[in-house]
C-alpha cells in the first residue's frame, strides 16, 4: 500500500511541472478518446495546433479568445483567493453584454464613439457586478450557497437573453434568427491590428491583469484577502471585515466578466445574439487553477486555453471533430490539476503490508 507523507518544503520544480503534466495528461486522454472514434489523434492535434498557433492570423484568433478569458479569470482570482466560488462568470458575462447592448441599440443617438464606448464599458461592468452581487448578498445575509446560486443565475441570464432575442430586441429582418440589430459604428471597438479581429479589448485585458496584480500583491485589500482566504476566523479576530471584502471582490469579479461580455458583442459580433461565448465562464475556472490564482501567469494560461478553444472551433468545421473534445481535454486537465495539488504538500511513500 502507498501512503502520503507530509513535506516540509515544496520543491519549486514541482509547481511548474504539475500544470504541464496535467495538460499533457488532458491531451493524452483526449487522444485516446479520438482514437476510439477511428480518427488519427495526431492529425487532429496537428490541425488544432496549426489553427491555434500556426500562423499570425491563427494566433490572432487565439488572442481573440484569450481576451475574455484574461478578463474573467483576473476577476475570479480575487474571489477564489477568499474561497468564494463564483461559478457565475457566464451569467455575469451575458449581463454585461445585455447592459452594454442596450446603449448600443437604443441610446446611441448623437454620442461620439469615445463617449459611446465609455458608456458601454461602464454599463457592462455595472451589469456584471449587479449579477454577481445578488448571490453575494444572499450568501452574506442568509448563508445561501454561492456555488448553486451563481450557477442558477447563469441559466436565468441565458433565458433573459433568449427572451430578448426572440422578443423585444429581435431584429425584424433577421429571418427568424435570434439576434438583435447590428450596432452603430460608434458602438464598435476599434481594431488594433489590421486584418485580425483583435480590438483594443486586449488593452482592457492587460490593464485588468495589472490592476488585479497590484491589488493582490501590493494593496491593503490584497493583504486582507490573503488572511480571509487562509483563515476567516483569524481575519475577524484581526478586525478585518470579511463581508465587505467579499462584496468588493465579487463586484470586481462580476464587473470584469461583464466587461468581457461587452468586448465580445462590441468587438467581435457587433450585435447581440443567443450564442455568445458559452464556454468562457467555465474555461476561466480552469485557467485560474492552472495559473495558481496568479494574475501574471493567467495571461499565459489564457493564451494556451484560448488556443485550445479557437483551434477547437476550427477543427470542428474543417475536420468535423466535435468541439466536445475541448471539454474533454479541459476537464481531464482540471481533474489532474486538482488531484496533483496533494504532491505540493505530501510525497508518496510505499509500504509493504507487514512492517
Of 166, 213, 292, 313, the one binding another protein by CB under 8 A: 166
Among 7, 11, 17, 106, binds another protein (CB under 8 A): 7
Rg of the Cα trace of the chain?
22
Q: Does residue number 237 form part of the binding site for another protein (CB under 8 A)?
A: yes
* Shortest Å, Cβ 9 to another protein: 9
Separation CA 107–CA 116 (nearest Å): 9
Alpha-carbon span 324 to 154, nearest angstrom? 20
Q: Does 142 bind another protein (CB under 8 A)?
A: yes
Nearest CA among 297, 295, 300, 303 for reference residue 77: 295
The correct pick among 163, 192, 207, 296 for binding another protein (CB under 8 A) is 163
Q: Which residues contact 49 (CB under 8 A, 6 or more apart)?
A: 311
As a whole number of angstroms, the distance between CA 341 and CA 343 comes to: 5
Beta carbon nearer to another protein, 63 or 290: 290
Question: Could you give the CA distance from residue 68 to residue 49 in angstroms, rounded to a whole number?
Answer: 20
Q: Give, as ranges, the residues between 268 and 297 that touch another protein (CB under 8 A).
A: 282, 285-286, 289
Which one of 156, 211, 297, 300 is in contact with another protein (CB under 8 A)? 156
H or E element at residue 5: strand 2-6
- Closest CB 232 distance from another protein, rounded Å: 9
Q: How far is the CB of 234 from another protein (least distance, A)?
A: 5
54 is a site residue for another protein (CB under 8 A)? no
Of residues 238 and 317, the one with the C-beta less far from another protein: 238
In whole angstroms, the minimum distance from the beta carbon of 228 to another protein comes to 9
Of 324-343, binders to another protein (CB under 8 A) are 324-332, 334-335, 338-342
What one-character-per-residue DSSP string does 8-39 give? SS--HHHHHHHHHHHHHHHHHHHHHHHHHTT-
144 binds another protein (CB under 8 A): yes
Please choose, out of 96-104, 194-202, 300-308, 316-324, the segment that lies near another protein by the rule CB under 8 A: 316-324
191/338 with CB nearer another protein: 338
Number of residues in contact with another protein, rule: CB under 8 A? 71
Residues with Cβ within 8 Å of 122's Cβ and at least 6 positions away in sequence, in order, are none
Q: Enumerate residues 85-104 that contact another protein by CB under 8 A.
A: 85, 87
Under the criterion CB under 8 A, does residue 230 sit at the interface with another protein?
A: yes
Question: According to the binding rule CB under 8 A, does residue 171 interact with another protein?
Answer: no
Positions in 206-225 near another protein (CB under 8 A): 218-223
Residue from 234, 275, 296, 318 touching another protein (CB under 8 A): that is 234
d(CA 119, CA 343): 48
10 Å Cβ neighbour count for 171? 17
Query: Which part of the chain contacts another protein (CB under 8 A), choosing from 109-117, 123-131, 139-147, 183-191?
Result: 139-147
- Say whether residue 138 binds another protein (CB under 8 A): yes
Q: β-strand 2-6 against 346-350: which pairing, if any? A: antiparallel
Does the footprint of another protein cover residue 238 (CB under 8 A)?
A: yes
Are the beta carbons of 295 and 212 closer than 8 angstroms?
Answer: yes
In the complex, minimum distance from the CB of residue 304 to another protein, in angstroms, rounded to a whole number: 16
- Nearer Cβ to another protein, position 188 or 247? 247
**Is residue 110 a contact point for another protein (CB under 8 A)?**
no
54 vs 64, 163, 242, CA distance in Å? 15, 40, 47
Q: Which helix (H) or strand (E) holds 350?
A: strand 346-350
| Alpha-carbon separation of residue 69 from 33, 63, 276, 287 (angstroms) | 26, 10, 13, 8
Contact in structure between 133 and 254 (CB atoms under 8 Å): yes
Amino acid at each position: 500500500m502507498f501512503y502520503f507523507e507530509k513535506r516540509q518544503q515544496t520543491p519549486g520544480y514541482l509547481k511548474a511541472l504539475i500544470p504541464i503534466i496535467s495538460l499533457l495528461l488532458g491531451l493524452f486522454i483526449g487522444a485516446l478518446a479520438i482514437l476510439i472514434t477511428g480518427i488519427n489523434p495526431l492529425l487532429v492535434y496537428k490541425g488544432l495546433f496549426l489553427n491555434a498557433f500556426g500562423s499570425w492570423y491563427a494566433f490572432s484568433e487565439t488572442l481573440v479568445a484569450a481576451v475574455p478569458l484574461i478578463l474573467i479569470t483576473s476577476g475570479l482570482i480575487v474571489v477564489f483567493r477568499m474561497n468564494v466560488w463564483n461559478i457565475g462568470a457566464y451569467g455575469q458575462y451575458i449581463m454585461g453584454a445585455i447592459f452594454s447592448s442596450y446603449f448600443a441599440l437604443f441610446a446611441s443617438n448623437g454620442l461620439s464613439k469615445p463617449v459611446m464606448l465609455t458608456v458601454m464599458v461602464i454599463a457592462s461592468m455595472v451589469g456584471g457586478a449587479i449579477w454577481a452581487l445578488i448571490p453575494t448578498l444572499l450568501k452574506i445575509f442568509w448563508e445561501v450557497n454561492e456555488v448553486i446560486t451563481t450557477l442558477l443565475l447563469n441559466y436565468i441570464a441565458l433565458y433573459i437573453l433568449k427572451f430578448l432575442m426572440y422578443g423585444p430586441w429581435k431584429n425584424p429582418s433577421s429571418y427568424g434568427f435570434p439576434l438583435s440589430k447590428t450596432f452603430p459604428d460608434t458602438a464598435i471597438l476599434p481594431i488594433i491590428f489590421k486584418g485580425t479581429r483583435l480590438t483594443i479589448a486586449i488593452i482592457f485585458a492587460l490593464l485588468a491583469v495589472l490592476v488585479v496584480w497590484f491589488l493582490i500583491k501590493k494593496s491593503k485589500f490584497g493583504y486582507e484577502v490573503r488572511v480571509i482566504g487562509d483563515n476567516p476566523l483569524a481575519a475577524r479576530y484581526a478586525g478585518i471585515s470579511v463581508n465587505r471584502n467579499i462584496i468588493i471582490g465579487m463586484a470586481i469579479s462580476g464587473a470584469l466578466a461583464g466587461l468581457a461580455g461587452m468586448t465580445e458583442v462590441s468587438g467581435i459580433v457587433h450585435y447581440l445574439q443567443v450564442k455568445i461565448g458559452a464556454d468562457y465562464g467555465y474555461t476561466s475556472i480552469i485557467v485560474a487553477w492552472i495559473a495558481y490564482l496568479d494574475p501574471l501567469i493567467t495571461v499565459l494560461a489564457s493564451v494556451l486555453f484560448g488556443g485550445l478553444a479557437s483551434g477547437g472551433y476550427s477543427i470542428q468545421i474543417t475536420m468535423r471533430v466535435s468541439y466536445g473534445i475541448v471539454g474533454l481535454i479541459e476537464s481531464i486537465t482540471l481533474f489532474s490539476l486538482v488531484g496533483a495539488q496533494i504532491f505540493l504538500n505530501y510525497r508518496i511513500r510505499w509500504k509493504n503490508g507487514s512492517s
